[in-house]
Amino acid sequence: MIDQSGDQSRSALIELDRLRIDFGKRTILKELEGRLRGRCIGLLGPNGAGKTTLIHTLLGFYRPHSGTARIFGLDIRTAAREIRTSIGYMPERDAYLAEMTAVHFVRLMGELSGLPREAALERAHEALFYVGLGEARYRKVGTYSLGMKQLVKLAQAIAHGPRLIFLDEPTNGLDPPARKRMLELIREIRDSGRTQIVLSSHLLRDVEECCDEILILKDGRIVANCDLAAERQANRKFVELETRGASADFLTAIDDLVGGEYAQTGPQRFKLIMPEGREVRDLYQIAAEKSVQIRRLNYKRDSLEEIFLKAMEQ
């Protein structure tokens, strides 16, 4: 969640403090500001929105033109090396030496993250077994299938036990079984409570399945933020009813049910906003008690796709 209210009830994972990134004369990130606090934060936006630039900036690859950001309270301008020891990164594009075995590659990345050589080797074996590549860990990475290459990228991101991992398009190009396995691993890491995740993906379903909070970028700006867990609980439910035999008693009961948030759009047609704790079955119970026939009912919550599309229309 991007919290700009000043609520300090939960410590921020990432703080954006008027963060701006320029490439030449073009501004890519436009003074982003807020706090991200989720266990798994989904980063969404169209191509060119600034998602990868934001990740690379937080990793220390780009120096802000103005403003800054903090991870675990550490400023990316002054504590980049310390931050890198606590984070893992699974890039979208392949970045490995094809002739290197998987265990050698993951060990090397563990050493680069600050682990001693022997500890890095031990963690490499553990990480490869964890993602399902234990039997193939002595094969050269260049001989791996696309799904295996994605898994070895995940293994190197988690081998050193980071507090935060950035996953950039982790299911890119995967077939359904491989995608399912990748999402299972992401949820396991999320639910362990030891590592928080920032997941960048163009697949809304992946984000909806894994993330409890989302951040949507467009043209380098934050256009929407949403705590999905809270949204699922507090989302208002819009219902359209077409009835037969609706009486004054029925309307009174409906008014009591929804607290007056309804409108009559025709002789037997109504639009309602269901309050928290009320469900569609309550409407059917009232209809049965008042001998009213419900001939048609449309009911839905806002999906992540609808939230995303509304953000794009701003």
In sequence order, the 6+-apart residues with CB closer than 8 A to the CB of 161 are 123, 194, 195
Q: Are 194 and 165 in contact (CB under 8 A)?
A: no
Do residue 70 and residue 15 come from a single domain? yes
Label residue 8 by pLDDT band (50, 70, 90): very low
In this structure, is residue 272 part of a structural domain? yes
* Identity at 186, one-letter amino acid code: I
Residue 294 is part of a domain; what is its CATH number?
3.30.70
Residue that has been written with the tokens 């008690």 in this structure: 289
Cα separation, 124 vs 161, in Å, equals 11
Owning domain of residue 41: 1-86+163-168+192-234
Residues 117 and 196 in one domain: no
Residues 80 and 18 in one domain: yes
Q: Which residue from 89, 36, 2, 43 is spatially nearest to 199, judged by alpha carbons?
A: 43
User: 43-94: per-residue pLDDT in tens?
Assistant: 999 988 999 999 999 999 999 999 999 999 999 999 998 998 899 999 998 8
Residues 227 and 82 in one domain: yes
154 and 104 both lie in a single domain: yes
Q: Which of 92, 1, 42, 89 is nearest to 209 (CA)?
A: 42
Residue 282 in any domain: the answer is yes
Main-chain phi, psi angles of 262, to 5 degrees: -150, 160
> Given a cut of 60, is residue 1 above it in pLDDT?
no
Q: Does residue 289 sit in helix, strand or coil?
A: helix
pLDDT tens-digit series, residues 278-290: 888 889 999 999 9
Q: Are residues 15 and 70 in the same domain?
A: yes
What are 61-73's pLDDT values in tens digits? 999 999 999 999 9
Residue 314 is assigned to a structural domain of this protein: no
What is the reported pLDDT for 179? 95
pTM (two decimals) = 0.78
Give how many domains the chain has, as a whole number.
Answer: 3
**Same domain, yes or no, for 67 and 135?**
no
CA separation for the pair 308, 206 (Å, rounded): 14
